[in-house]
Amino acid sequence: MPKIPRRQFLAKSAAFAAVAPLIPHVVTGQTPGRKLGVALVGLGSLSAGQIAPALQKTRNCRLAGIVTGTPSKAAEWKQKYGLSDKSIYDYKSMSRMADNKDIDIVYVVTPNALHLEHALAAAAAGKHVFCEKPMEISVDRCQQMIDAVKKAGKMLGVGYRCQFDPNHLECVRLAREKVLGDVKVIDANFGFAIGDPTQWRLKRELAGGGALMDVGIYCLQTTRMLTGEEPVWISASEVKTDAVKFKEVDETISWQTKFPGGVVTQCTSTYAANGLTGFRAATTRGSFGLEPAYFYTGNRGKRSDGPEINFPVPDQFVLELEDFADCIINKRPTKVPGEMGLQDVKYLTAIYESIKKGRPVSLA
């Protein structure tokens, strides 16, 4: 085991003790008689690479069904995960889930503008809904999802994995406890150089927007998490260096927000460049932040007074899934509800409005 300097170890231990109550593994209460069954809608890269493997490791939920439009994927997943024929659906047959007691939760992992359709089908079948970010592409569509799941008497959560990453939670603690004084300015950026020009992420109808909707939402979340407040004012500008590839969606957007407590933020999202994944909070006595901040693993950072922020993260998807299942089992509210997803879409929409109007937009 590498030797950790005592000061750093103590700082880490104290910090862990402080964030521990926020980590689902630590707070879980009653465990179920059986694991809750999760059906994945959309077997693309996130489902195959992250969520299904995470469901092999979760203590209180398990993969119990799939929804896919591709028969070859159905056969492959059936064999790989030992699924029965009755737990395999296509997008048109989701209503049959109503008769499948093995499925408790439907996790929607399709392109952004299809989330509502699939969440409505899940709610109509009497299932809890967990939905990937962004929740949908308009505030109205988010509200329809909230209403439908509420009417079904089920729980709705949004896949904000960073809300469960102990490194992010430590930064929230530093901000809220004013460990380095008051947070005054936050700088958050996320982007990657997008490849295939034919993918749905570049089609407005399916994505709702570009890098802002896809990765800018993480920066927006950071500013809301650290301040614990809602922005009152947003101003944004956009740059396109490839008008053909980004004909339908945004390539790079920078935006500023003001929060009621006086914090100002500066964020950038881009589909044009790699290496942009971090945030920094400047405080009255120093600073702290994560770099990288938004990866699935390995997020870490520094405090200006010395200690590193570097908690091991077993698997963000295990943490978010176990927490959602625990909310259902123990009948407690999720900390990533549909209302949080709707608020983010409201602010993303205001960013697009600010760009269109060429002036700041008031949210108060």
Catalytic residues: 133, 218
Distance CA 176, CA 99 (A): 46
Of 24, 65, 157, 159, the one binding ligand NAD by CB under 6 A = 159
The interface region with ligand NAD, picked from 75-83, 108-116, 172-180, 344-352 by CB under 6 A, is 108-116
Establish if 132 lies at the interface with ligand NAD (CB under 6 A). Answer: yes
Closest contact distance (angstroms) between CB of 42 and ligand NAD is 3
What is the DSSP code (8-state) at residue 247? S
Number of residues that bind ligand NAD (CB under 6 A): 19
Work out whether the CA dihedral 329, 43, 315, 78 comes out positive or negative.
Answer: positive
If we measure between CA atoms, which residue out of 165, 173, 163, 62 comes closest to residue 107? 62
First to last CA, the chain: 52
DSSP per-residue letters across 81-137: HT--GGGEE-TT-GGGGGG-TT--EEEE-S-GGGHHHHHHHHHHTT-EEEEPSS--S
- Contact positions with ligand NAD (CB under 6 A) in 300-319: none
Establish if 198 lies at the interface with ligand NAD (CB under 6 A). Answer: no
The answer to whether 172 and 222 have CB atoms below 8 angstroms apart is no
Establish if 326 lies at the interface with ligand NAD (CB under 6 A). Answer: no
List phi, psi (to 5°) of 106. -110, 125
Establish if 112 lies at the interface with ligand NAD (CB under 6 A). Answer: yes
Distance CA 107, CA 101 (A): 16
Establish if 214 lies at the interface with ligand NAD (CB under 6 A). Answer: yes
Establish if 209 lies at the interface with ligand NAD (CB under 6 A). Answer: no
Establish if 161 lies at the interface with ligand NAD (CB under 6 A). Answer: yes
Closest contact distance (angstroms) between CB of 101 and ligand NAD is 26
Q: Which is nearer to ligand NAD, 251 or 258 (CB)?
A: 251
Residues in the site for ligand NAD, rule: CB under 6 A? 42-47, 69, 109-112, 114, 132-133, 159, 161, 200, 206, 214
